[in-house]
Amino acid sequence: MIIHPIDYRYGTKEMKSIWSENSKIKRMIAVEIALLKALAKKGYLSESEVEKAEKAAEKVTVERVKEIEAEIKHDVMALVKAISEEVEKVSPEAARWVHFGATSNDIIDTATATQLRDSIEILERKLKKLAEHLILKAERYKKTICLGRTHGQAALPTTYGFRFALWAAEIARYIERLRELKPRLIVGQMSGAVGSQAAFGRDGIDIEREVMKILGLKPALISSQIIPRDHYCEYISFLSNLSATLEKIATNIRILQRAEVSEVMESFGEKQVGSSTMPHKRNPIDCENICGLARVVRGFDEPQRQSSILWEERDLTNSSAERITLVESTVLTDHILTKMIKVIEKLEVNEAKARENLDKVGKVNLSEAIMVALTRKGLNRQKAHELVREAAMKVYSESKDFEEALLENPMISSMLSKEEIKELLNPEKYLGTIELKIENVKNYVKRVLNF
d(CA 323, CA 316): 12
Alpha-carbon distance of 158 to 146, in angstroms, equals 5
Q: Specify the 3-state DSSP secondary structure of 431.
A: coil
The active-site residue, picked from 275, 320, 413, 417, is: 275
DSSP H helices in 42-103 = 47-57, 62-72, 75-90, 92-96
| Residue 151 annotated among the catalytic residues of the structure | yes
Q: Taking CA 217 as the corner, what is the angle to CA 212 and CA 222, rounded to the nearest 5 degrees?
A: 75
- Contact of 377 with 328, CB cutoff 8 Å: no
How far is Cα 343 from Cα 247, in angstroms, rounded to an integer? 12
Backbone region of residue 148 per phi and psi (left: phi > 0; alpha: psi in -120 to 50; beta: other values): beta
Kind of pairing between the strands at 153-159 and 145-150: antiparallel
Relative orientation angle of helices 317-346 and 230-257, to the nearest 10 degrees: 30
Output the CA angle 427-433-435, nearest 5 degrees.
Answer: 85
The span from the CA of 250 to the CA of 242, in Å, is 12
- Helix 204-215 vs helix 21-41: angle between axes, to the nearest 10 degrees? 130
Cβ distance 38 to 30 under 8 Å?
A: no
Residue 159: closest CA among 133, 141, 132: 141
Contacts of 238 by beta carbon, 8 Å cutoff, 6+ apart:
174, 177, 178, 181
**Contacts (Cβ under 8 Å, ≥6 apart) of 342:** 267, 286
Q: Distance from first CA to last CA of the chain, Å, rounded?
A: 45
Give the containing element (helix H, strand E) for 146: strand 145-150
C-alpha 232/C-alpha 173 separation (Å) is 20
Pinpoint the alpha helices (H) of 307-433: 317-346, 351-360, 367-376, 381-397, 402-408, 410-415, 418-424
Distance from C-alpha of 286 to C-alpha of 336, rounded to nearest angstrom: 9
Which segments of 295-411 are extended strands (E)?
348-349
- Report how far residue 128's alpha carbon sits from residue 419's, in angstroms, rounded to the nearest whole number: 48
Catalytic residues: 151, 275
